Structure 1
Amino acid sequence: MSLTALAIRPIRPEDCRMISAAFTRQGWNKPVSQYERYCRLQNEGTRDVLLAEWDGDFAGYLTIQWISHYQPFREASIPEIVDFNVLKKYQRRGIGSALLDEAEMRIKRVSVRAGIGVGMTRDYGPAQILYVKRGYVPCV
């Protein structure tokens, strides 16, 4: 991976329509309002939203929810990485790993542990493999 090809930065209000349109083009329904909400939550300090750009094009994002909605994480004060997506055409380039690196670095400033939310359907198989390789352990 070329280090100059990848940039990670916080979401900005002007990104919302572009992100939604990028996911619509690959057949995923992610409305503009979701990203507008994320901008508000980021401004309030309750969520960080990290965008990945590959050669200047939007490639993916993840969010850090500082106070998890998942009760075991919330009770243990474990921030949670949630809503983590890399566009299909940019997968397998290290972008997801770079996003996780940045998120984990931010989380380490306030917690020795990070939680991660993941779906348990077939669609999440690549994500599940990535999380296990990075040392995340399923919580039941």
Structure 2
Amino acid sequence: MNTRIQIRQMKNEDIGMVFQTLEHHNIGKPMDYIKRCWEENKSGERITLVALYDQSFTGWLHLLSQSNYPYFADKGIPEINNLDVIPSQRRQGIGNALMDAIEQIAFDKYGIVGIGVGLYYDYGNAQRLYAKRGYIPDGRGMFYEGRQVEPGSFVRVGHDLALYLTKDRTI
């Protein structure tokens, strides 16, 4: 384990640091979104973990207790959401450290966890990471804008086209 990486739950005082760091590295997340994440942490709807590398913010990851993906919502499967690691700190084990920590939380409480991943090249690293970590497709095919893609239909390839995967604690 890399002792330079610290993973902890988000605090109120992290809001500005998260916004500024992500903005500086062109991973812009609106301030309203970051504040909403914090509010959802307080209400228990979301758990947000932040990663510090040498005491500097370098990434974050969320666990949604109630997924927006219908199958996960119906089955009570929490969803890992929005993994961001600043580009200059990638390949240091930060993403895996965040995933280890959030999976442990999910497995302790639910025994299973789900995640959605985009299907075009920008998501290539995430696709490989999730496969290496033992995530498997949930068997329901692709979803576009929250709806299952039917055979013969046309969809726009972008951030709204995803495949959903699951992993349970036995893997």
TM-score (norm 2): 0.77
Deviations 1:96-130 (A, max 9, x none): 11111111110112222110122222111101100
Q: Which is higher, the Rg of structure 1 or of structure 2?
A: 2
> SS of the residue aligned with 1:85?
strand
2:112 corresponding residue in structure 1: 113
Runs of 4+ in 1 over 6 A off after TM superposition: none
Q: How does 1:56-71 map to 2 (within 5 A)?
A: 56-71=55-70
Work out the number of aligned pairs and report it.
Answer: 139
1:123 partnered with 2:125: no
Q: Does the 8 Å CA contact 2:19/2:29 hold for their aligned counterparts?
A: yes
Greater percentage in helix: 1
One-letter code of the match for 2:105?
A: R
Deviations 1:33-86 (A, max 9, x none): 111101100000110000000010001000000111100111111110001111
Gaps of 5+ in 1: none
CA–CA distance in structure 1, aligned partners of residues 27 and 84 of structure 2: 11
Between the aligned residues of both structures, percent identity stands at 36
2:93 corresponding residue in structure 1: 94
Q: How does 1:11-90 map to 2 (within 5 A)?
A: 11-90=10-89
**Structure 1 position 24, deviation (Å):** 1.5
Greater percentage in strand: 2
TM-score (norm 1): 0.94
Q: Does the 8 Å CA contact 2:2/2:93 hold for their aligned counterparts?
A: no
> SS of the residue aligned with 1:30?
coil
Superposed CA RMSD in Å reads 1.2
CA–CA distance in structure 2, aligned partners of residues 27 and 72 of structure 1: 32
CA–CA distance in structure 2, aligned partners of residues 12 and 121 of structure 1: 33
CA–CA distance in structure 2, aligned partners of residues 110 and 23 of structure 1: 30
CA–CA distance in structure 2, aligned partners of residues 2 and 108 of structure 1: 23
CA–CA distance in structure 2, aligned partners of residues 88 and 138 of structure 1: 27
CA–CA distance in structure 2, aligned partners of residues 79 and 121 of structure 1: 24
CA–CA distance in structure 1, aligned partners of residues 53 and 47 of structure 2: 20
> SS of the residue aligned with 2:66?
coil
